[in-house]
Structure 1
Amino acid sequence: MASILTLGGFLSMFTSTVVTVALGTIAAGFRAPLGTVQWIATGYLLALAAMVPVSGWACRRFGTTRLWLVCVGLFAVLSALCATATSIEALIAFRVLQGAAGGLLVPAGQILFATTVGPKRLGRMMAVLSIPIYLAPVLGTLAGSVLTERFGVPWLFLVNVPLSLLCLLLGRKRLPRERPVDTRRLDWRGLVLTVTGLPLLVYGFAEAVPIAAAAGAILLAVFAVTALRSPAPLLELRLFRDRTFASAAAVIFGMGIALFGAMIVLPLYYLDVRHESLVATGFLTAPLALGTVLALPLAGRLTDRIGGARVIFAGLLVTIAGTVPLALLTGTDNYWWLSAVQVVRGCGIGLTTVPALSAGLVSVPKERISHAMPLFAMLQRVGGSFGTSILTVLAAPGTVAAIAHAHWWIAGITTIVLIPAWLLVRAESSTVD
């Protein structure tokens, strides 16, 4: 089961970056403005975000395995349609629909994992499922360059088809069958508020559009008020009353700011300061993902053995240790040294994110995991968009000083996350006592 769900999650995240390096080629092929073609990537990411809030209800209403299989099948069909699109408008539309299907794959897989394996193996299993989330974007960037150059743009999408079909075949044979557990009607008001509010907030922060960010924040605030009053909300916000869950959520939000915001800063150093190519920059920033993936199995084992809180605290300290050298960047730093620093920072991230997710889920009853997982995913995405907005402004000059200054901010944000991490340690200790 683990390998099947991991491959499904890999597809969703891999496809989010595989086309990014080919936007210029696609624009030339369709003779369309780059600003229009950009929506091939942006539309996919916004659709991913829009589907997160509804994923929990869909799993409860239709069964998690059934939903996952349907989404994999749709992902294959829409990938083929993207490859055969004859206009830029059609391609954008198919990419948005593909993002909607892909946006349900990761949370549905995580929910199925968490409800099946139980709390004793939750850390190790979530670590396995998280590997594609960190590895796929790096591989997507590298594969996009190779596929575009050697095989052509259609193969950016066709590569998904055989992998999706393999997932579908194995999933039908191996994944457990679940019956729907909640036949209540969909909270349409909550759906409208979150499906519009979350993408607007993410887009507003990521693209520096204050009106969109403000509108998204207002819509989500209205959702929060109505959800707390509803007997059957789309997402159960009352989970935040639990101190362990709330502390873990704060860690996930804070690391979303530090992690996803940081992913745009160091590439600027290689591109603008060291004048490396896009492909070379992809290789030079890959050690961060490598360190994260290497640390995930250890993080999972330690979380199951001693609890997630202490692992998170240690991971944050390692992350800070791997960030401070990047805040001391010069224009002549040795690439091997920078790669080693990135591996250390990646290990810290791996020791933080999965234990935070596992620590938060341990306190959640099994029947409410389908509420908890989308909440964590939403917080991570909003944090990532917020961090992207702040750090893009700080690093925008593209100078060594600006990029180093942005890394000081990342180190500072990570240090602040130590506060909810310490609260999580205390909450976990009191539960054990």
Structure 2
Amino acid sequence: MSTPLGTAPAATGSDRVDPAVWRIGATLVVGALAVVFDTTVVSVALGDLATAFDAPLATVQWVSTGYLLAVFVTIPLAVWAQSRFGGRRLWIGALGGFLLGSVLSALAWNATSLIVFRVVQGLAGGIMMPLMATLLMQAAKGRHPGKVMAIITVPTALGPVLGPVLGGLVLHLADWRWMFLVNIPFCVVGGWLARRNLPDDRPEPGGPRVRLDVVGLLLLCPGVTALVYGLSRVEGSAGFTGATVLVPLLGGLGLVGGFTVRSLTRPGGSLVDLRLLRHRAVASSATLLFLGGIALYGPMMLLPLYFQQVRGEDALGAGLLLIPQGAGALLARGLAGRYMDRVGPRRVAVAAFTLVAVATVPFAFVTAGTGGTPLMAALFVRGLALGAAMIAPMGAAYVGLRHEEIPDAGVITRVAQQIGGSVGIAVLAVVLQHASLGAHGPGVLTDAFDRAFWWSVALTALAVPLCLLLPGRPRPPSPTGPARTRTVAGPRRPTV
């Protein structure tokens, strides 16, 4: 009988994570760092790329937008692809695809070719991020979800903070092509480690093969992509009411809504099994990760702009000033994972989201003359809270699930977090735009940032009462073996 996640088998009685899980986690982190760093490194180089290719910034912006849209095309495919090819082969193949896209991007000769090659990177990266969580949670076999999630969040903590610093250093010391060439060591070493350390989980030769839900694919992938595209157009249009925003948003909502109805009513075989949302832990975790995406990515757009436009820092200086937040997030990983396994994700999430909101408040009072030390201290505390705020719901999402249900939960939570990030960026961009409309002088611009940070505080505070829906203190293991898991899903995907 498979072990429900979050319930350790009684026979072990150990509070230590299996060394094999640490080994698999380190293997996956090495490869994932290439994806996370690449996503954030390029964000600081759009101006340099526009100059290098003599192209308008609106065109070069698609270097980032095209990558992001490609990621959302393949995230929902991760569940089917793992069942079809096996996790190890899929991880190595996706890592190889990301390596190919990186090399081609470094060889790009104009903006159009770079956009195309970034799409290749995005297609591979979209598979890797949900697959990382799935492989590690399956390897842990239900033990210590908090500590396991602390491993998974290493790239998430490092990327948004150290990525801009790495990008600024590359542009300061070398040619823009090196932003993509630095991915090669991560991909090569990550692939070698994967062949060595990941278990061979290929399907049985000649066994039944999982059928691809083509209708679901045609509904979900374009739907999510249209939503993200519409949100990415908010900053450059008339808010949420412009046709370039409203049309893709409504179209995306229609497609995703159609997929949702279809998945909830089918007896089995959906591209992503949304019936898992009947688990309170999965539903509440997805909602909190959506709000957590807003709390993480929205201010990550505001903070560099504030340091550059109000305080006069360059791209590298703004990236360096964000290091305390990354240091706090890294430090929080071990603490949050340990306390989550001890007291449950609910208490950790309530404390973490409350502290994120409180630590964001100082930025709503900043002026051009505000001292740097208080801001660095606030960023460090905010990083501590953000690290815990992401670990708690991510770990809670897998509590009570069977081994074969883990991939679907991984995709649901990943999509929720990424769409939350897009919503956070879009909403705060609109607030900042409207608040600074016609602004002249640093004082008026500072007031615009103050208002945007207040919105960030309010959106983060919305998550605090929802944290109470997460699972509480973990139950002690049964002396006769692991507790039974209530099954909410029907038969798995039909076979041919």
Q: TM-score range by the shorter chain?
A: over 0.9
Aligned partners of 1:262 and 1:363: how far apart in 2? 33
Cα 1:31/1:166, change in 2 over 3 Å: same
Residue 9 (structure 2) aligns with: none
Cα 1:408/1:23, change in 2 over 3 Å: closer
Aligned partners of 1:431 and 1:291: how far apart in 2? 30
Listed as ranges, the matches of 1:4-83 within 5 Å are 4-83=27-106
Listed as ranges, the matches of 1:4-403 within 5 Å are 4-180=27-203, 183-208=209-234, 209-230=245-266, 231-396=268-433, 397-398=435-436, 399-403=445-449
In the alignment, which of 450, 466, 488 is matched to residue 404 of structure 1?
Answer: 450
Aligned partners of 2:387 and 2:190: how far apart in 1? 26
CA-to-partner distance for each residue in 1:150-179, whole Å, 9 max, x for gaps?
A: 221221111111221111111111111112
Residue 8 (structure 2) aligns with: none
Contact 2:65 2:232 (C-alpha < 8 Å) held by counterparts: no
In structure 2, runs of 5+ residues without a counterpart are 1-23, 235-244, 437-444, 478-496
Contact 1:120 1:304 (C-alpha < 8 Å) held by counterparts: no
Report the CA distance between 1:404 and its aligned residue: 1.6
SS of the equivalent of 1:78 reads helix
Residue 13 (structure 2) aligns with: none
Identity over aligned residues, as a percent? 37
CA-to-partner distance for each residue in 1:92-111, whole Å, 9 max, x for gaps?
A: 11110111111111111111
Aligned partners of 1:285 and 1:222: how far apart in 2? 41
In the alignment, which of 412, 415, 428 is matched to residue 472 of structure 2?
Answer: 428
Aligned partners of 1:19 and 1:249: how far apart in 2? 28
Aligned partners of 1:350 and 1:29: how far apart in 2? 37
SS of the equivalent of 2:45 reads helix
Cα 1:400/1:432, change in 2 over 3 Å: farther
Give the stretch that moved more between structures: 116-125 or 25-34. 25-34
CA-to-partner distance for each residue in 1:357-376, whole Å, 9 max, x for gaps?
A: 11111122211001000000
Contact 1:251 1:356 (C-alpha < 8 Å) held by counterparts: yes
SS of the equivalent of 2:32 reads helix
Give the stretch that moved more between structures: 66-75 or 395-404. 395-404
Aligned partners of 2:233 and 2:219: how far apart in 1? 21
Amino acid at match of 1:266: L
Structure number with greater Rg is 2
Aligned partners of 1:109 and 1:146: how far apart in 2? 28
Cα 1:151/1:214, change in 2 over 3 Å: same
Alignment coverage as a number of residue pairs:
431
Amino acid at match of 2:449: I
Give the stretch that moved more between structures: 81-90 or 347-356. 81-90
Report the CA distance between 1:429 and its aligned residue: 5.5
Aligned partners of 2:177 and 2:473: how far apart in 1? 53
Aligned partners of 2:248 and 2:390: how far apart in 1? 28
Cα 1:19/1:430, change in 2 over 3 Å: closer
Aligned CA-pair RMSD: 1.9
Report the CA distance between 1:200 and its aligned residue: 1.3
Residue 440 (structure 2) aligns with: none
Aligned partners of 1:116 and 1:187: how far apart in 2? 27
Contact 1:8 1:106 (C-alpha < 8 Å) held by counterparts: no
